[in-house]
Amino acid sequence: MTNVIPLGDYTKLDIDPDNVLEQAKHQLSTVIVIGHNKDNDTSYIAASTADKKRLLWMIEQFKFKLFNGDFD
């Protein structure tokens, strides 16, 4: 897959998590990382801000866009 050029757009195909994280480097001011380990039995959650209100607002904004079809 070395010939794949990331366009930064949404896809309906799975992407390697390391590639997603690499593309996000140096582009974002605040991040939330939510995932599972490779066995899908442990959740991982981390954020770059300690402001819980801001985190919740970001999650709710994402949910709104997701359910509104913005990622289709």
Each residue of 55-64: pLDDT tens digit?
999 999 999 9
Domain assignment present for 56:
yes
Domain assignment present for 63:
yes
7 has pLDDT over 70: no
Per-residue pLDDT reduced to its tens digit, 8-46: 566 678 888 998 899 889 999 999 999 998 888 888 999
Looking at the structure of the chain, the number of domains it has is 1
The dihedral formed by the CA atoms of 60, 61, 67 and 68, expressed in degrees to the nearest 10: 150
Domain assignment present for 20:
no
Domain assignment present for 43:
yes
Cross-strand pairs, 34? 45
Cross-strand pairs, 47? 32
Query: Which residue range forms the structural domain that includes residue 52?
Result: 29-68
